[in-house]
Chains A and B, each alone.
Chain A
Amino acid sequence: MSDVAQSEFNIRKYIREDLFPHFMCPGCGHGIALRALLNAVHNLGIDKNRLAIVSGIGCSGRVGAYIDANTFHTTHGRPLAFATGLKLARPDLEVIVITGDGDCLAIGGNHLIHACRRNLNITCLMLNNEVYGMTGGQVSPTTSTDRFTTTTQSGNYEPVFDACKLAEGAGAAFVGREMTLQTPALRDLIMEAIAHEGFSFVEVLSDCTEVFGRKNDMGDSMEMVLAQKSGFRSNSYGTAVDEPFKPRGMKTGVLHRSERLEYAAAYQQHHAEKSST
């Protein structure tokens, strides 16, 4: 999709520059994800007046405010619930949710399941840095085995959550995963996710350099990003993937795609049929 002829992407057209300097720590992966998202929005020609960004609470949740669009910074774990009401009320808006691994899988896990099941035309970006960044680095549902966090000071002993499998199982129309290392691929995946009718779930493998990387001696931000391909999260996911430049332990790219009837269309269709009989 990225080779479609289009005007050059200028990030300044899509951000609220007056809010800068931003809050993110140097090297934080969330900034890369933000850029990839805005590049996708640009390439798809989405009018920012019609763009609604709904985010939860966390460093991931704070990213939304920098986007020059209709932005909603909601409550911890609930952006999908807000987005559901917003999209049902305003199908004309392009609704994109930005959430974190804690926001989406722990406190908001139930909403994720049911957003996938309903299959409303929303795109959900989960920025997975395998930690609770905003609150200072506690263990999250995606923290790899043996990793040190402020609440697993001798290493993490809890199993890891594969959000993409959950999303697919729960009925999301589109599921994909990409690393921040592969920015063009990430941008293209987000474009596909937005363009796909129905609920699209994208897991972005992000990095928390400050309260995760430092505690785990993972080097500077450059080393952390590069480590994505060598599979530092190899403990996280079961399936091995052989292709080069993909983290050893997990699949990236489009993982699932279906043409299941979108929720609002299904609602319309159902009630039109019922009222005509």
Chain B
Amino acid sequence: MSTDQNLQNLQGNRACALAAIHAGCRLFAGYPITPSSEIAESMSAELPKVGGVFVQMEDEIASMGAVIGASAGGVKAMTATSGPGFSLKQEALGYAALTEIPSVIINVMRGGPSTGMPTRPAQGDIMQARWGTHGDHPTVVLVPWSVEEVFAETIRAFNLAELLRTPVIILFDEVIGHLVETVDLARFQNPQITDRKWADGKIEGFKPYRDPGDGVPMMARPGDGRRVHTTGLSHGESGFPTQNAGEVEKFMSRLLGKIAKHRDEVERIDARCCDDADVVVVAYGITARAAHRAVSMLRDQGIKAGLFRPITLWPFPESAFKAVAEHARLVLVPEMNAGQLILEVERLVSDKTTVAGLNLFYGEPITPQQIVEKAEALLSQ
């Protein structure tokens, strides 16, 4: 039931911290960086109240390491950062992906590259979130568009991390991180929580990386008597390093395939006015808020426009997108970058329809008017 008490004005970053604790996060390790610092600040105040640990590490690499270490020990853990710090975390992210240790990483995107524009929004890390660490690896990336969705997706990130035994990244942009909106906390009173699938049963002969069928092995809890080995070297079912082609092939196929086996739980989209849409605008994060407005402005002018918003950005919700985009005359992809998600959009539908981008990367959010004008110009060509 919604009461006034449940309605709270929350900043995106703070909502993320509260949601993480709600989801069971009990360790936060981070290093200050604008525009993400409020997450660490909130965690430092809130975690001790629930018996959790906040630790400000010496850098982002250490933060990511501490998060993985804590999670390996069985405690849900998170870190938060922005551009330069996200770059530093990449090696450890790959380690978490390969060793299949759950973790949640928040990247509040700011202008880049390098130090860029620390206080300005951007969406320049779309491809880094997908491919930032070296080698083929599974990736789950979520991208909320409101403070309430920050709350929901943070909880979901922890659940997916446990379900899939993989790092889950949430991308905000500076605007989402600093936006203050009313959140109805009643919605989150009894959230569905996914906990670790700990190994049980026989200890003898336990194989820490054996596929139980859904692609996600059971994890041994340190201290449970299984005494397993965890390594960032390629390993087989036993967890010990191997360079045997067959073993590595089998391992990698499972690792890369496990997300697809849980596609229904992983993929989440928001499609609005897409059924009859001639123009489909694909947008995410704060840009999707502008796109949503642009769609109704275009509709007011008699142009059948729709919004396709991936809430799960990676893996990109391919079939849901194809279903709405293939019949459109135009697919427009506004992004606060030089054109990143558009590459995926083109890959999927450029043989069926016209795909165009609206790319602004000077640290200002894209406005509804800019999207409307771009759509009109393209339609009149």
Binding site for B on A (CB under 8 A): 16, 19, 48-50, 52, 54, 65, 68-75, 78, 80-90, 92-93, 110-111, 113-114, 267, 271, 274-275
Contacts and interface: CB of A to CB of B under 8 A. Distances in A.
Contacts of B73: 85-86, 89-90, 93
Given A75-B91, A75-B92, A84-B57, A89 B27 contact: yes
B66 A73 contact: no
B257 to A, nearest CB: 25
B70 interface: yes
Interface string B54-68: 010111011111111
B299 to A, nearest CB: 50
B29 interface: yes
A68 B241 CA distance: 15
Interface string B219-237: 0001111011111110000
Interface string B269-284: 0000000000000000
A75 B65 contact: yes
B188 interface: no
Given A19-B240, A81-B66, A69 B223 contact: no
Contacts of B233: 73
Contacts of B230: 71-73
Contacts of A65: 229, 231, 240-241
Interface string B32-67: 000000000000000011000101011101111111
A68 B91 CA distance: 27
A114 B73 CA distance: 21
B198 to A, nearest CB: 14
21 contacts: A49-B224, A72-B231, A73-B229, A73-B230, A74-B232, A75-B92, A78-B65, A81-B57, A81-B62, A81-B66, A82-B69, A84-B55, A85-B68, A86-B69, A86-B72, A89-B69, A89-B73, A89-B74, A93-B73, A275-B48, A275-B49
Top 8 A-B residue pairs of the complex, sorted by shortest distance between their CB atoms? A85-B69, A81-B65, A85-B66, A89-B73, A86-B69, A85-B70, A89-B75, A90-B73
A81 B31 CA distance: 13
Given A72-B230, A73-B231, A78 B223 contact: no
Contacts of A81: 57, 61-66, 69
Contact of B65 (A52, A84, A89, A92): A84
A72 B227 contact: no
A85 B29 contact: yes
B106 interface: no
A75 B69 contact: no
Contacts of A87: 69
B32 to A, nearest CB: 15
Nearest to B53: A88
B69 to A, nearest CB: 3
Given A82-B69, A86-B72, A50 B223 contact: yes
The main secondary structure of chain A at its interface with chain B is: helix
**In the complex, which of the residues A50, A71, A86, A87 has the most CB atoms of chain B within 10 Å of its own CB atom?**
A86
A50 B29 CA distance: 24
B231 A78 contact: no
A48 B228 CA distance: 11
A65 B238 CA distance: 12
Nearest to A81: B65
A114 B29 CA distance: 14
Contacts of A88: 27, 53, 55, 66, 70
Contact of A52 (B53, B222, B225, B231): B222
A49 B53 CA distance: 24
The main secondary structure of chain B at its interface with chain A is: mixed
Contacts of B71: 85, 89
Given A85-B73, A86-B72, A78 B61 contact: yes
A90 B74 contact: yes
B316 interface: no
Contacts of A69: 227
B95 interface: yes
Nearest to B51: A271
Contact of B58 (A49, A52, A90, A110): A110
Contacts of A275: 48-49
Nearest to A264: B53
B62 A114 contact: yes
Given A84-B65, A88-B70, A75 B95 contact: yes
A78 B227 contact: no
B77 interface: yes
Given A70-B228, A75-B65, A92 B223 contact: yes
Contacts of A110: 58-59, 62
Contacts of B48: 271, 274-275
Interface in B138-166: none
A68 B227 CA distance: 7
Interface in B185-239: 222-225, 227-233
A275 B222 CA distance: 31
A61 to B, nearest CB: 9
Given A85-B69, A90-B73, 20 more contacts: A19-B240, A48-B227, A52-B222, A54-B69, A65-B229, A70-B223, A70-B227, A73-B231, A73-B232, A74-B95, A74-B232, A78-B65, A81-B65, A85-B27, A85-B29, A85-B73, A89-B77, A93-B223, A274-B48, A275-B48
Given A86-B69, A88-B70, A89-B69, A78 B75 contact: no
A73 B95 CA distance: 10
**In the complex, which of the residues A82, A86, A90 has the most CB atoms of chain B within 10 Å of its own CB atom?**
A82
Contacts of A48: 227
A89 B231 CA distance: 19
A85 B61 CA distance: 12
